[in-house]
């Protein structure tokens, strides 16, 4: 059974600092997704990573995928308060098996 682990689970960081959230998964995957969730809200898609070495960037967020290590990272550069949210990674295994398995999430708090 696919397991998806994120760390850290909680992250409190100062504005202007850099940090990385890690997502490890247990079996070979076709696709990895990153989502953002604000408190009391739904999930919003951030990135879709499809191949080994894939890197995507949007503003202060950059996601990468290493399929050999079964690891994805979400890097935050020069954090600002607006990035405070819970971030989830999700993994799909094999085209044709369309289950999406989510990690437990990382609650990020940016402190002024």
Partner 1 sequence: NAGVTQTPKFRVLKTGQSMTLLCAQDMNHEYMYWYRQDPGMGLRLIHYSVGEGTTAKGEVPDGYNVSRLKKQNFLLGLESAAPSQTSVYFCASRSGGPTEAFFGQGTRLTVV
Interacting residue ranges for partner 1, rule: CB under 8 A: 6, 9, 30-31, 33, 41-45, 48, 50, 88, 90, 95, 98-105
- Three-state secondary-structure class, residue 31: strand
Smallest gap from Cβ 82 to partner 1, in A, equals 20
Which residue lies nearer to partner 1 by CB, 35 or 110?
35
Closest CA to 103 of 87, 112, 94, 90: 90
Which residue lies nearer to partner 1 by CB, 15 or 44?
44
For 44, residues 6+ apart whose C-beta sits below 8 A from its C-beta are 35, 36, 37
Smallest gap from Cβ 35 to partner 1, in A, equals 8
Smallest gap from Cβ 17 to partner 1, in A, equals 25
Which residue lies nearer to partner 1 by CB, 67 or 103?
103
For 31, residues 6+ apart whose C-beta sits below 8 A from its C-beta are 48, 49, 50, 91, 92
Which residue lies nearer to partner 1 by CB, 21 or 88?
88
Smallest gap from Cβ 47 to partner 1, in A, equals 9
Q: Burial of 42 by CB count in 10 Å (0-12 exposed, 13-18 middle, 19+ buried)? A: exposed
């Amino acid at each position: 059974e696919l397991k998806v682990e994120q760390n850290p689970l909680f992250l409190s960081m100062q504005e202007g600092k850099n940090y990385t959230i890690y997502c490890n998964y247990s079996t070979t995957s076709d696709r990895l997704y990153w989502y953002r969730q604000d408190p009391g809200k739904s999930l919003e898609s951030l990135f879709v990573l499809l191949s080994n070495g894939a890197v995507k960037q949007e503003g202060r967020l950059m996601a990468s995928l290493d399929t050999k290590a079964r690891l994805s990272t979400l890097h935050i550069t020069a954090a600002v308060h607006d990035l405070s949210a819970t971030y989830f990674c999700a993994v799909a295994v094999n085209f044709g098996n369309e289950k999406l398995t989510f990690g437990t999430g990382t609650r990020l708090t940016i402190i002024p």
